[in-house]
Amino acid sequence: MAENRWTVSRRTALRGTVAAGVAVAGGLVGGALSTAPAMAGPDGGRVAVLGGGVAGLTAAHELSERGFQVTIFERRAWGGKARSVPVPGTGAGGRPDLPGEHGFRFFPGFYQHLPDTMRRIPFPGNPNGVWNNLIAVPEARFARRDGDDFRLPVGPRARMPFSPDSFRETVGAALSTSLKMPPNEGIYFADRLLVFNSSCDARRYGQWEHTSWHDYVDGHTRSHEFRALLSRTLTSIMVAAKENVASVRTIGTMGEQFLGNPAEVGNDGALDRVLNGPTNAVWIEPWLQRLRELGVRFELGAEVRGLDMRDGRITAARIVDQRGAARIVEADYFVVAMPAEQARALWSADVLAVRPELAAMNRLFSDWMNGIQFYLRRPATISQGHTAYIDAPWALTSITQNQLWTRKLAEFGDGSVQDCLSVDISDWNTPGLLYGKPAKECTHEEIAREVWAQLAAHLNDRGDVLRDADLHSWFLDPGITWQPDQRRNANADPLLINTAGSWDYRPEPHGALENLFLAGDYVRTNIDLATMEGANESARAAVNALLDVAGSNAERCQLFTLYRAAELEPLRRIDADRYAARQPNMFDLPV
């Protein structure tokens, strides 16, 4: 590629992104879709899906299978934050551009809604469609700056015993041994897990929803190792949350899934799964093709500016296309499948007069979690799965992709790239090592150098794992744009961050506005986390509500429940009585 190894120019990236968007729009809005059969059944109707990310594509999939005429309107790119992004201008010799992305994908085994959809997306040679493109990784590495790294196997294991004493002893010992932590702190953390796992629903929503995870685990008094590994790593790094603001209910629920999943209880597959190729190639593009076959229409470059109302119903959406032309889109039903910060901009006084609870969405909190890819001239031997960089100021995680992909990196770009180290940056607010600035205030070149330095500080203390000479180039998520006048970055793709008490601010998929339905990871779901699974689950709930309003006799979308250890159900019943009597959980003892 023309640029040096430290930069892909912003102008080149934007030019290629726009060109790719126009090309995709032409393919989707053109003849392939217009010739597809309209699959409206006797119970169907016209549905405008506003947003083409995972939530919007899921809603379109479920509705089109049930005989509705669906058109999806998307401003930027199909797949939203889940898509991969070709690095413009990097292909040569007939090879496609290098694959970039918003951030690497992670499909825990306790995801069930999304895998169910993936099974229904055909893929050549796969008996279970796109689902067969998910592969399990065998380990996770936790890298330290002092060289005291450790690896954890993430494959299947025996089901964990669930008597209180055996749970405390087993989990506590496992934590102390594998994380090299004082035994008393391992036992303490196991006790905190036991408290949550034995808590009734009323306590989870009434007490733990309003308590931060940091306070719950008493993070401010614990050792550095405890805070780094069991407070920060389990939240900001592993489940895209912030330990000082995320609720106990959210993090505790995820903990339940991670505890149950390795035993393959109440889950879809292995604990840690990734795709075997670039996301668009092995998931998003086959999904779009399936939707075309179902008769879905696509409009790319369509920005939703507002909703018109009359007599307590949405009558139209106001759209501005990529040429700047405004128009009105009418439909029988409207599914708003946009991110929270975009959706809440649509809630006019008229909308709020009918659904006043939507005003609480202004209290939902978003932060940044974006990725950068480093393309390497030799394979990187780091881990057979994900790596968490425990002492990195920017809360970094990574995965090396060539070992996992069916189509190898040498088949992309100029042919010299042998691996891609894909890195997620979870903390954009803490000063870094090189420049003493948070990522939000660093130029793109500074971000690349800073991330590389933080990785090297964790990996090169036991050998020359990352060498500058091996760096071919890098690519930062194009949603991050440098604002020269402000000397800081803007982010087109912030991430919803669950905060203590935020359940009260999150809406149901349907309310008093009869023909308006909400789908997105900010909607109330079982998974209760900003995830692709939450987006998929919320879209299914929105479709089910739409079917009810339409009086449809179509089969409802399947909704799955999260895992809970059945052995602890008697303890939860006891806890329900204790909570009603304003008593603490029986295991919640003073420290």
- φ, ψ (nearest 5 deg) of residue 275: -80, 155
- Strands 46-50 and 69-74 turn out to be parallel
Which tens digits make up the pLDDT trace of 358-367? 999 999 999 9
Structure tokens at 351: 């909308």
Label residue 285 by pLDDT band (50, 70, 90).
very high
- Strands 386-389 and 139-143 turn out to be parallel
- On the question of pLDDT at 127 being above 90, the answer is yes
Task: Choose among 152, 10, 185: nearest CA to 89.
Answer: 10
3-state SS, 326-362, equals: EEEEECCEEEECCCHHHHHHHCCHHHHHHCHHHHHHH
Per-residue burial over 394-430, b = 16 or more CB atoms within 10 Å of its CB, e = otherwise = bbbbbbbbbbebeeebeebbbeebbbbbbbbbbbbee
Q: What pLDDT was estimated at residue 304?
A: 98
- On the question of pLDDT at 286 being above 60, the answer is yes
Which tens digits make up the pLDDT trace of 15-40? 333 333 333 333 333 222 222 333 33
Q: What pLDDT was estimated at residue 516?
A: 98
Q: What pLDDT was estimated at residue 264?
A: 56
Least confident of 95-99, 142-146, 451-455, 529-533: 142-146
The DSSP output letter for 510 is B
Q: What pLDDT was estimated at residue 35?
A: 28
- Please name every residue paired with 391 in a beta bridge, in sequence order, or none if there are none: none
- On the question of pLDDT at 233 being above 70, the answer is no
Label residue 589 by pLDDT band (50, 70, 90).
confident
| 10-83+279-363+500-550 CATH | 3.50.50.60
The DSSP secondary structure of 206-228, one letter per residue, reads HTGGGSBHHHHTTGGGS-HHHII
- Strands 69-74 and 297-300 turn out to be parallel
Contact 269, 136 (CB under 8 A): yes
Q: What's the mean pLDDT when you consider all of the chain? A: 87
Out of 37-41, 104-108, 281-285, 562-566, the most confident range is 281-285
Cα distances (angstroms) measured from residue 527 to each of 52, 251, 496, 498, 563: 21, 10, 13, 11, 11
Mean pLDDT in residue range 101-110: 90
- Please name every residue paired with 73 in a beta bridge, in sequence order, or none if there are none: 50, 299
What is the greatest pairwise CA distance in the chain? 73
Hey, how many other C-beta atoms are within 10 angstroms of the C-beta on 379? 14
Domain boundaries in the chain? 10-83+279-363+500-550, 162-233+247-260
Q: What pLDDT was estimated at residue 19?
A: 36
Query: pTM of the prediction?
Result: 0.90
Angle, helix 164-178 to helix 183-197, in steps of 10 degrees: 140
Label residue 178 by pLDDT band (50, 70, 90).
low
- Please name every residue paired with 433 in a beta bridge, in sequence order, or none if there are none: none
Rounded percentage of the chain residues whose pLDDT exceeds 70: 86
Give 564 or 162, the one with higher predicted confidence.
564
Hey, how many other C-beta atoms are within 10 angstroms of the C-beta on 501? 15
Tell me the C-alpha distance between 357 and 201, whole Å.
23
- On the question of pLDDT at 9 being above 60, the answer is no
Which tens digits make up the pLDDT trace of 443-491? 999 999 999 999 999 999 878 899 999 999 999 999 999 999 999 999 9
Task: Choose among 76, 36, 28, 69: nearest CA to 52.
Answer: 76
Rounded percentage of the chain residues whose pLDDT exceeds 90: 69
Give 116 or 9, the one with higher predicted confidence.
116
Q: What pLDDT was estimated at residue 6?
A: 47
Which tens digits make up the pLDDT trace of 394-445? 999 999 999 999 999 999 999 999 999 999 999 999 999 999 999 999 999 9
- On the question of pLDDT at 179 being above 90, the answer is no
Contact 527, 533 (CB under 8 A): yes
Which tens digits make up the pLDDT trace of 239-262? 566 667 889 999 899 888 887 765
Q: What pLDDT was estimated at residue 14?
A: 36
Q: What is the number of alpha carbons within 13 Å of residue 297 lying toward its C-beta?
A: 18
- On the question of pLDDT at 10 being above 50, the answer is no
